[in-house]
Amino acid sequence: MDMSNAQNTSGVDRYINTLIKGLENYTDIQVHWIQLIHDNNRLMHDEVQFSHYVKYTIPLPEQSNEIISQRFWMRKYNKHVYQLTRHLFEGKKNCIVHLHTLNLIDLALYIKSQTTCKVITHLHCMPWKGHFNRDIKKFKLLYHQYYLLPTKHQLGPEYVSNNCELQSYNDAHHVICVTQCAKEFLSRVKKTKKRHITIIPNGINDVYDNKTKRKFKTSKELFRCLYVGVVSQSKGLKYILQSLRKVQNEGYKISLDIAGICPPQLSTLLKEEYSELSLNFLGRIPYDELKKLYVESDIGLIASLQEQASYVAVEMCMFGLPVVTTAVDGLDELFTDEVNALKVNTKFSKVFGLSVDVEMMADKIIKLIKNKALRKKLSANARKLYESELTLEQMMERTVSVYNNVLKGLK
């Protein structure tokens, strides 16, 4: 069960589609996807039977943000949703609600009160870090307290966005995190119950044709760099551009493909500001085109300032693309510097906040360009990392194990 927006495809959307694909191989599990969706073009709910799952889509009210913030009206809506979906629960045993949006915990708990289902919360991101894009002043304050105070103290209510978030951690039967740092966050939040938490990294289905040989260029040739993702403040594209400017000033030939949604005004502004760079804003492209980019590019660049389980990072590993990445959150846990990626430090000040060390990123990119042996090593080891930890099969085995243990009441 999740809450989605018809206008945007998020990492959670990607995860759920991947999860449903993986569950196709578990014939003893009946799968129902309940999606509450912001969609101005949808007036009615519907139920669609696919090959191995049922998708039940319910439109959210137009003023859903106000409803979510008012528990009385949210509970009225929850009862309405349950009346529409009760046939999915009634008369069934061993039923689990796998929750992917924290704001839906009230609905999950209402369903639990009416049935015998178990509730699992999936923590895809740490909500307080979303302040980076919404309220940078608050983010700087929370970041300083969280990372830079001398001792790892317990965290107060300012780190929890609302009561729904706290309920999602406390009232679910189990919590799945995608990183160790998320599990640590839960252990530090005041009023969070000590409970069993499982870390399951995101996995994806292997679509790489290993017959395709990656070309490793000489330092004199043009290097195609690749950025994938929505262009937002926390993704750090501006730091990549500043770094590439320095690389080009050192005499190296580079270009950058930017695959992801970017507002037209912003892409125009960036092209003007970095007119000396070869920038190719591709927008949102089909996955087949993206796969081709992963194969044909020479260096993958990630400059995120907060990231839990990056599908872009996993895909770059799957395709064996040499990567330069920031050492934050899940990215820092995933990669080992000089082994399967080159990692770049971030910097923090109370005045300027969190930023990427541009000089260090430029140096790392130049190091990769100059050292063909290093590129080959990172490429091979990134692929090994995918095969050993990030496949869809591994994610599904871990997830189904959690399902079984929750149903058995195991901790």
pLDDT at position 226 is 98
pLDDT at position 38 is 85
| Residue 63 half-sphere exposure toward CB, CA atoms < 13 A | 6
pLDDT of residue 133 exceeding 90: no
Q: For residue 111, what are its two tokens?
A: 């369903």
Highest mean pLDDT among 161-170, 186-195, 336-345: 336-345
pLDDT bracket for residue 42 (50, 70, 90): confident
Per the model's pLDDT, the better-predicted residue between 63 and 87 turns out to be: 87
| Residue 24 half-sphere exposure toward CB, CA atoms < 13 A | 11
Domain ranges of the chain: 2-204+392-408, 223-389
pLDDT at position 151 is 73
pLDDT at position 50 is 93
pLDDT at position 406 is 94
How many Å apart are CA 47 and CA 85, to the nearest integer? 10
Q: Which CATH number fits domain 223-389: 2.60.40.420, 3.40.50.2000, 3.40.50.300, 3.30.465.10?
A: 3.40.50.2000
pLDDT of residue 302 exceeding 70: yes
| Amino acid of residue 269 | L
- Overall average pLDDT of the 235-245 stretch: 96
State percent of the chain over pLDDT 90: 73
pLDDT of residue 411 exceeding 60: no
- Give the H or E element holding residue 46: strand 46-49
Extended beta strands in 242-360, E state: 254-259, 278-283, 299-302, 323-326, 342-344, 346-349, 353-356
The sign of the CA dihedral 248, 327, 283, 259 is positive
CB 305 within 8 A of CB 346: yes
CB 217 within 8 A of CB 231: no
- Judge if 2-204+392-408 and 223-389 fold alike in CATH terms: yes
Q: For residue 319, what are its two tokens?
A: 């395709």
For domain 2-204+392-408, the question of CATH label 3.40.50.2000 is answered with yes
Mean pLDDT of the chain: 91
pLDDT digits (tens, 9 = 90+) for 269-291: 999 999 999 999 999 899 999 99
- Overall average pLDDT of the 154-170 stretch: 88
How many Å apart are CA 6 and CA 398, to the nearest integer? 30
CB 240 within 8 A of CB 256: yes
Q: What is the DSSP string of 79-133?
A: HHHHHHHGGGTTT-SS-EEEE--GGGHHHHHHHHHHS--EEEEEE-S-GGGGHHH
pLDDT digits (tens, 9 = 90+) for 45-65: 999 999 999 999 998 877 666
